[in-house]
Amino acid sequence: MASDILLEATGIAKHYGAVVALRNASLSVRRGEVHALMGANGAGKSTLVKILTGAIRPNGGRILIDGREHVVRSPAEARRAGLVSVYQEPALIPDLDIASNLRLTATPVEPFMKWVREMGVPDLDLRETARNLPLAILRVLDLARAIAVGPEVLLLDEMTAALPADLAEKVLAVVKRQGAEGRSVIFISHRMLEISALCDRATVLRDGETVGVVDIGPGSADRIVELMLGQKVERIQREIAEATPGAPLPVTKPRLSLRDVGVAGKLEGVSFDLMHGEVLGVVALEGQGQDELFGVLSGSRRPTAGSLAVDGREVRFATPADAIAEGIALIPGDRAEALLMQRSVRENVALPFSASFRHWGPIPLRRQNAVVGEAIRRLQVDTRAQREVQRLSGGNQQKVTIARWIAAEASTILCFDPTRGIDIRTKHEIYHLLRELAGQGASVLLYTSELEEVQLACDRAIVIFGGRVVDVIPAAIADEPTLVRAAYGLPRLAPGAAAPLPGATA
């Protein structure tokens, strides 16, 4: 059995200072196998990929390719060792023509053209500048270029994410043939259906460790989800039981209504209502269109389709100022995007007060200080280092961004992953605050990458997958397994039913 292992990584560890990205990751890929690498956000998937491809160096562990140990110091070395990767973004140099791009990586033209034709592009002109080709073709070229050098191991990282369905199918067929021809493929994807259709086995990472290898077959999707979540589920369940249950949502009117909202290529046909007094969760894997959704709602980005209504009145936002005028404020995921790092806590909180032309004159300091001080007290911002916000801790910085909109009395708050990288106590203070705001009639849209937050803070959650809303789940049943399944585009389990075959209902 050992002889047919083509790539074997064992005991891979990587830490950045005190932060451990990988503890003990292992991956073993057989010859001729399509092998999925799975893991929730922050499990260490991308770190492992970077180590395999030589982009970063591990602190420990061994990588064997075909039985020989390799120290991979750069992507070029990984290539020589027989491992070639294709990423989500096009890799051809846009200002060179295709022929030059091929010469750059010493790719033989004949096999390249053969694979390009194979994937349904019959008449490619090698003199064409890469920039002039459509994105979908570029993806085909990336894959063809990788396969043409005849790699031992092909690593595909979210390669199908940006592809239209018909092309994805062709690409997957080619990938499957690689396996059949005795080469190995490491396949990373958020799409569970692709994985069940394509892969032979899956390695699951959790908290920087390999927690299991699953043979793909009936029921394997559930097994993978289970492994990805691990013991976490029980702990969270306890926390949720301890959290004060919110009163049942009174029937209210919609505050914000979206109808068929789309952003070219990223978001399509999104319709939902955000009610008065509701905290609505948004759950999605990375890059499923949630950034665009929040951009549209906050006025930073214009939708290419659909309509948006506030309290039943249709609106169009050209700038964030327009959204703010309607009482809609964004708390962005990156705190550095929201804060004036060199200015004081008070000035940061008071910023929206001076924004409009009418308030460019003298500042009514006494009145403003009262309002700002009240918001700072309510959020219990630690004001010891208040002269410059950059000296505050991450949690306190986040509180400042929230205090800003409490002082400004925004009635609709769009929170994009507000608790990322924040200590647990502050997290709970923020959940509590969001609930309190909702209790006072405000509406909150909360995108979160930490799924337990849905039950800790939300009334309902919408799930976005591939730019579409695929499910709306009441908080009562939105436990992590349910949300993960939905986020991976899998159908919801009927209560008590046996796990259906993945793909059976598609």
Partner 1 sequence: MTDVTQRSPAPGLGRRIRRVFSDRPVIPLLILLAILMVVLEILRPGIVNERWIANTVKFAIPLAILAACQTVTMLTGGIDLSVGTVATLGAFVVSTQGMDAGLGWALLLSLAPALLIGIANGIGVGIFRVHPLIMTLGTSLIGVGFLQVYQRTVIATGTKVPDVLAWIGTGLTGGIPNSLIVFVPVAAFILFMLGRSGFGRLLYAVGDNERAARLSGVIYWKVILALYILSGILAWIAGLIYVGLIKAPSLSLVEPRVLPAVAAAVIGGTSIFGGRGGYLGTIVGAVILTVLATLLTVLQMPEGARQMLFGLIVLAVTAAYIRITADS
> Which residue among 330, 402, 434, 444 contacts partner 1 (CB under 8 A)?
330
Name the burial class of residue 397, with classes exposed (0-12), middle (13-18) and buried (19+) by CB atoms within 10 angstroms of its CB.
Answer: buried
Nearest C-alpha neighbor of 148 from the set 182, 108, 184, 98:
108
**Nearest residue (CB) to partner 1, 313 versus 384:** 384
> Which residue among 321, 370, 424, 476 contacts partner 1 (CB under 8 A)?
321
Is 346 a binding residue for partner 1 by CB under 8 A? The answer is no
> Which residue among 109, 365, 476, 506 contacts partner 1 (CB under 8 A)?
365
Is 87 a binding residue for partner 1 by CB under 8 A? The answer is no
Is 343 a binding residue for partner 1 by CB under 8 A? The answer is yes
Could you tell me how far CA 155 lies from the centroid of its own chain?
20
Alpha-carbon torsion, ordered 464, 445, 304, 469, to 10 deg: 20
Is 235 a binding residue for partner 1 by CB under 8 A? The answer is no
For 134-202, the three-class secondary structure string (H helix, E strand, C coil) is CHHHHHHHHHHHHHHCCCCEEEEECCCCCCCHHHHHHHHHHHHHHHHCCCEEEEECCCHHHHHHHCCEE
Distance (Å, rounded) from C-alpha 266 to C-alpha 295?
12
**Nearest residue (CB) to partner 1, 26 versus 344:** 344
Q: What are phi and psi of 77, to 5 degrees?
A: -70, -40
Number of residues lying near partner 1 (CB under 8 A): 37
> Which residue among 107, 300, 304, 307 contacts partner 1 (CB under 8 A)?
300
Site string for partner 1, 391-430 (x = CB under 8 A): -------------x--------------------------
Distance (Å, rounded) from C-alpha 52 to C-alpha 74?
10
Name the burial class of residue 365, with classes exposed (0-12), middle (13-18) and buried (19+) by CB atoms within 10 angstroms of its CB.
Answer: exposed
Stretch that binds partner 1, among 39-47, 148-156, 247-255, 336-344 (CB under 8 A): 336-344
Nearest C-alpha neighbor of 272 from the set 288, 284, 290, 260:
260
> Which residue among 69, 360, 366, 504 contacts partner 1 (CB under 8 A)?
360
Is 297 a binding residue for partner 1 by CB under 8 A? The answer is no
Q: What are phi and psi of 360, to 5 degrees?
A: -80, -15
> Which residue among 314, 337, 409, 423 contacts partner 1 (CB under 8 A)?
337
**Nearest residue (CB) to partner 1, 152 versus 347:** 347
| Tokens linked to 94 | 């846009």
Is 224 a binding residue for partner 1 by CB under 8 A? The answer is no
Query: Which residues partner with 43 through β-bridges?
Result: none
Asked whether 233 and 480 are in contact (CB, 8 A), the reply is: yes
Distance (Å, rounded) from C-alpha 345 to C-alpha 375?
11
Q: Which are the contacts of 152, defined by CB distance < 8 A and separation ≥ 6?
A: 6, 7, 65, 66, 81, 82, 83, 183, 184
Is 340 a binding residue for partner 1 by CB under 8 A? The answer is yes
Written as one letter, the residue type at 481 is P
Is 380 a binding residue for partner 1 by CB under 8 A? The answer is no
Q: Minimum distance from CB of 360 to partner 1 (Å)?
A: 4
Is 384 a binding residue for partner 1 by CB under 8 A? The answer is yes
| Tokens linked to 301 | 């980005």
> Which residue among 80, 359, 367, 377 contacts partner 1 (CB under 8 A)?
359
Q: Which helix (H) or strand (E) holds 310?
A: strand 305-310
> Which residue among 149, 193, 305, 355 contacts partner 1 (CB under 8 A)?
355
> Which residue among 88, 304, 354, 369 contacts partner 1 (CB under 8 A)?
354
Strands across the sheet with 412-416, in order? 328-331, 412-416, 443-447, 279-284, 460-465, 468-474
Is 371 a binding residue for partner 1 by CB under 8 A? The answer is no
| Tokens linked to 434 | 């969001």
Is 363 a binding residue for partner 1 by CB under 8 A? The answer is yes
Q: Minimum distance from CB of 343 to partner 1 (Å)?
A: 6
**Nearest residue (CB) to partner 1, 145 versus 404:** 404
Is 362 a binding residue for partner 1 by CB under 8 A? The answer is yes
Is 66 a binding residue for partner 1 by CB under 8 A? The answer is no
> Which residue among 96, 347, 369, 472 contacts partner 1 (CB under 8 A)?
347
Q: How many residues does the chain have?
A: 506
Q: Which helix (H) or strand (E) holds 306?
A: strand 305-310
Stretch that binds partner 1, among 113-121, 267-275, 360-368, 480-488 (CB under 8 A): 360-368
**Nearest residue (CB) to partner 1, 159 versus 293:** 293
Is 370 a binding residue for partner 1 by CB under 8 A? The answer is no
Asked whether 195 and 187 are in contact (CB, 8 A), the reply is: yes
**Nearest residue (CB) to partner 1, 132 versus 319:** 319
Q: Minimum distance from CB of 398 to partner 1 (Å)?
A: 13
Stretch that binds partner 1, among 32-40, 69-77, 201-209, 381-389 (CB under 8 A): 381-389
> Which residue among 7, 171, 338, 454 contacts partner 1 (CB under 8 A)?
338
Is 234 a binding residue for partner 1 by CB under 8 A? The answer is no
Q: Minimum distance from CB of 306 to partner 1 (Å)?
A: 23
> Which residue among 59, 132, 356, 393 contacts partner 1 (CB under 8 A)?
356
Rg, C-alpha atoms of the chain: 25
Binding site for partner 1 (CB under 8 A): 298, 300, 319-321, 324-325, 329-330, 332, 336-343, 347, 350-357, 359-363, 365, 384-385, 387, 404
